[in-house]
A and B are shown apart, each in its own frame.
Chain A
Amino acid sequence: MGYDFCLEGRDSRVTPAGSALEIDGRRLDASLERGLHAGEYFIVVDGRREKLFIATRHDVHFIHWRGRTRHVEAWNALDRARQAAIRAGGAEEIRAPMPGVVISVAIESGTTVERGALLLTIESMKLQTAITATHPARVTEVCVAPGDHFDQGSPLVRLEALDAASEESRKS
């Protein structure tokens, strides 16, 4: 049930523990409440209240706290599968990290997508998840259709990463 977050190049696991959190095996009480201004929050950690600013986009949490800005990237099993696919080379395959069913498909073979674009929506473990592109790419093959059931490890979408140069020539 843990969720991985990457901060300053290092991964940490955060797990809900009752009303508290367990971070890298250590329990702490934490709660978050909105402040007055957009993006302003107050976090109470182990009794200490601190002001911070948070904004989230595409699973990246930008946080301004005590005068410094950092970003924390959220990972989940799906992202791991994607990243593993990307590291394999230019042609990528997004494989299902667990069994489930396809709810909807937003793209087709030949579609070009930007970072963050929706590819498909699946349901696994009673939760719907949006599978999005992590970088500019062209869809080479959609391996499933709405309603299809899949096993862990089944290929869902095949992509070809687009680098900045080819994206530039595509735009002009």
Chain B
Amino acid sequence: MSQIPGLEKVLIANRGEIAVRITRTLSRLGIASALVAHAEDAGSLAAQAVDEVHPITGETPVSAYLDGAQTIAVAKRIGADAIHPGYGFLSENADFAESVIAAGIRWIGPSPDSMRRLGDKIESRRFVAGLGVPLTPSASESEDPKTFAARAARVGFPLLIKASAGGGGKGMQIVREASALPQAIELARSAAVRYFKDERIYAERYVESPRHVEVQILADTHGQVFHLGERDCSVQRRFQKLIEETPAPGLAPVLRRAICERAVQIARAADYHNAGTVEFILAPNGEFFFLEMNTRLQVEHPVTELVTGIDLVEQQLRVAAGEKLALQQETIRSKGVAIECRLCAEDADHDFRPAVGELLVFRPAEGPGIRFDGGIAEGQTITTAFDPMLAKLVVHAEDRSSAIRLAIRALEETVILGCTTNASFLARILEHPEFQAGRVETGFIPAHADSLEPASLADAERRLLLAAAALSNRDFLERANAVPEPFASMGGWRN
């Protein structure tokens, strides 16, 4: 029996860890859960977690999840009241949202209009500039393609060339001097077409050593707009977030208030509802500039949930059902510190190349203050069909140093055998004195690349590992036992 009138069954148009996470809340609220799944995901943890699974097909596994028509057809056939798009895939596709609504199904997200206004990089900057919100200097190509290169140069170096329809940092080019500009423009344009099927690009000043600070917004259809505090997502690699935390370390209260209030101002002016995140660039001198707005649930939302005690997916469902949220800005409090680490199937010791393999052993860390949001199960084979992120390891503690210690311990206690992960790399970042001092910025990883290298094994450590391998190796043990008397002894070969 559903605790939210109007939502008896929700179809999740996503996969992996977010599908599992959404299901957890649906289950708690007595709402039936349905999932669309490509054959590659047929036996996945998410498929096993939901009440019903429905196959979808596509030329590639990813394309199946991008086929909105198929998903809507499933939703109609099974009588789903609503579709939750998760993050990525079609979650920020306004056309898809419109089709869902036109099919008489609730869309768990903002209105298609606000998705278009705020989800498009160029449109959102124009909108936000009109509100007096500070922006980094920029130039868009579509305003006047012939003068774009010249206007881009006037933005000032260093600058970024980005896709207008883009997100997630894909295809961006950093340009440090005028001579590199023409090639960067071409590279950015072809990347925009490849990733987003939209060739529009723009140039934006690149603030050196910036911090990435974002604000969680929650708004209902009754005019209420709340912020649930900020998150610092500065630790990134090639524009992909790796570690996120809340509160943003060392952020002065007056600056925190200003950033959060700007985010609320933007959401209110855009008539936004449901969950969303406003992203800002924070310059070393304390200036902050609007970057973009993500009109969906964010990957790193768990850190906000842990410090506020608020289930964001539940609130999303309530907003979609037309409820007036029972929250008050004054009583939304942030307690302690939460840190999230993104566990990825990548070999950090070999240029972060994607890793594959069967998960022979999988034991996530657990205990007080540890939350493991994963979409993987022991026995599953990791391939390159999807994004390399396997799970989010999130911790919550009284203060930042306790949270860091807990995160390191949780990374060390998580056992994943059979597919290489970046767990040790994440632990090295957390152990780094600069991270511990809160001196994070988006250039953290390249800046400290040398001191983030793994330590080599001491000889005694090496011998222990080799002994363990030899004593686990059937061939070795057989040959050892085949050694004729008087040299053989069964003593050491217990198995």
Interface presence of A106 (CB below 8 A)? no
A24-42 near B? 1/0 per residue, CB < 8 Å = 1010111111100111010
Interface presence of B283 (CB below 8 A)? no
Interface presence of B466 (CB below 8 A)? yes
Find the residue from A8, A29, A69 having the highest chain B CB count within 10 A. A69
Q: Is the CB of A55 within 8 A of B467?
A: no
Interface presence of B269 (CB below 8 A)? no
Give residues 60-77 of A contacting B (CB, 8 Å): 61-72, 74, 76
Point out the residues of chain B lying under 8 angstroms from A57, CB to CB. Answer: 357-358, 360, 418
Point out the residues of chain B lying under 8 angstroms from A71, CB to CB. Answer: 420
Interface presence of A150 (CB below 8 A)? no
- Nearest neighbor of A129 in chain B, beta-carbon distance: B475
Point out the residues of chain A lying under 8 angstroms from B417, CB to CB. Answer: 39, 53-55, 62-64, 69
Q: Is the CB of A23 within 8 A of B491?
A: no
Interface presence of A45 (CB below 8 A)? yes
- Nearest neighbor of A28 in chain B, beta-carbon distance: B463
Point out the residues of chain B lying under 8 angstroms from A18, CB to CB. Answer: 487, 489
Complex CA–CA separation, A161 to B494 (angstroms): 39
- Number of contacting residues on A, CB 8 A? 53
Kindly state the interface size class of chain B when it binds its partner.
Answer: 35 or more
Q: Is the CB of A8 within 8 A of B457?
A: yes
Number of A-B contacts (CB under 8 A): 156
Point out the residues of chain A lying under 8 angstroms from B424, CB to CB. Answer: 67-69
Give residues 83-130 of A contacting B (CB, 8 Å): 126-127, 129
Point out the residues of chain B lying under 8 angstroms from A145, CB to CB. Answer: none
Q: Is the CB of A14 within 8 A of B466?
A: yes
Point out the residues of chain B lying under 8 angstroms from A37, CB to CB. Answer: 363
Find the residue from B418, B421, B466, B475 having the highest chain A CB count within 10 A. B466
Stretch at the interface among B83-91, B106-114, B151-159, B407-415: B407-415
Point out the residues of chain A lying under 8 angstroms from B473, CB to CB. Answer: 3, 56, 59, 61, 74
Interface presence of B361 (CB below 8 A)? yes
- Nearest neighbor of A26 in chain B, beta-carbon distance: B463
Point out the residues of chain B lying under 8 angstroms from A69, CB to CB. Answer: 415-417, 420-421, 423-424
17 CB contacts below 8 A, A to B, read A1-B479, A3-B475, A3-B476, A5-B469, A29-B492, A32-B495, A33-B494, A43-B468, A45-B467, A54-B468, A55-B360, A55-B418, A57-B418, A62-B417, A68-B412, A69-B421, A127-B479
Q: Which residues of B contact A (CB under 8 A)?
A: 357-358, 360-361, 363, 411-413, 415-418, 420-421, 423-424, 427, 456-457, 462-473, 475-476, 478-480, 482-483, 487, 489-495
Q: 17 more A-B contacts (CB under 8 A) besides A39-B361, A56-B360?
A: A3-B470, A3-B473, A16-B480, A26-B463, A28-B467, A30-B492, A31-B493, A37-B363, A52-B468, A55-B361, A55-B417, A55-B418, A57-B357, A59-B475, A63-B468, A64-B361, A68-B424
